[in-house]
């Protein structure tokens, strides 16, 4: 496959090999990284910011950073690319959340679609809104731990590396975060975490 004059044979290559391709200006290698990690990053950013438009923008910015930092990436640097990317997206999301206006227009919600399945979509949207509100009440580190582990498809050890914590500290943070989330949801009339996690 060629892209911009570069010949790529990366197929199902690892992240480090794809980064070498990106460093050489191979757009296809960047697209492979985006395909591989984009949906998880988007989910993380949306859960953290509570705003789909912000999340999309932040993930695009993160992959722009990948494009610019790829020539400096060191595969032997100690961190996995995915860990670095999670950290970039999480930090940008937390920064965006701190600077965001109090009430975004898209938080007003959508009217239920009268077509078949509209009620289910409205219920799912309401469930997400309640969860975003409850997560917003949590301390930043608890929210980050829960979002990474339960919604970001990362294991507890990987989430601990992303947040620069020991595994025991991460587990403790998850326990406290789940307890605080349970209380925040109870204030909204939701009695079980199983309804949202």
Where along the chain do its domains lie? 9-100, 115-188
Average pLDDT over every residue of 146-153: 82
Q: Would the pLDDT of 3 be above 60?
A: no
In this prediction, residue 175 carries a pLDDT of 92
**Whole-angstrom distance, CA of residue 43 vs CA of residue 50:** 10
Q: According to CATH, what is the number of the domain 115-188?
A: 1.10.10.10
Q: Which residues pair with 7 in a beta bridge?
A: 2
pLDDT in tens, 176-185: 999 998 888 8
pTM score = 0.62
8 is written with which tokens? 């790529």
* No. of helices (H) and no. of strands (E), the chain: 8, 2
Mean pLDDT of the chain: 80
**Whole-angstrom distance, CA of residue 121 vs CA of residue 109:** 12
- Residue partners of 4: CB distance under 8 A and separation at least 6: 25, 26, 27
pLDDT in tens, 83-117: 899 999 998 988 888 775 544 545 555 555 555 56
The helix (H) or strand (E) run that includes residue 79 is none
Which class does domain 9-100 fall in?
mainly alpha
């Amino acid at each position: 496959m060629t892209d911009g004059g570069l010949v790529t044979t990366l197929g199902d290559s690892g992240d480090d090999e794809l980064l070498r391709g990106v460093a050489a200006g191979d757009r296809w290698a960047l697209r492979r990284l985006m395909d591989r990690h984009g949906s998880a990053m988007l989910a993380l950013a949306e859960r953290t910011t509570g705003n789909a438009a912000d999340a999309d923008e932040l993930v695009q910015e993160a992959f722009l950073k990948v494009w610019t930092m790829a020539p400096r990436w060191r595969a032997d640097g100690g961190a996995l690319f995915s860990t670095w990317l999670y950290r970039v997206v999480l930090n940008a999301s937390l920064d965006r959340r701190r600077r965001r206006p109090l009430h975004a227009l898209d938080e007003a919600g959508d009217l239920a679609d009268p077509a078949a399945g509209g009620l289910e979509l409205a219920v799912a949207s309401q469930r997400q809104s309640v969860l975003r509100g409850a997560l917003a009440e949590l301390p930043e580190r608890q929210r980050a731990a829960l979002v990474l582990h339960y919604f970001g498809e990362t294991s507890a050890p990987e989430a601990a590396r992303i947040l620069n914590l020991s595994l025991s500290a991460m587990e403790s943070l998850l326990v406290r975060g789940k307890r605080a989330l349970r209380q925040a949801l109870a204030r909204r009339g939701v009695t079980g975490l199983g309804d949202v996690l």
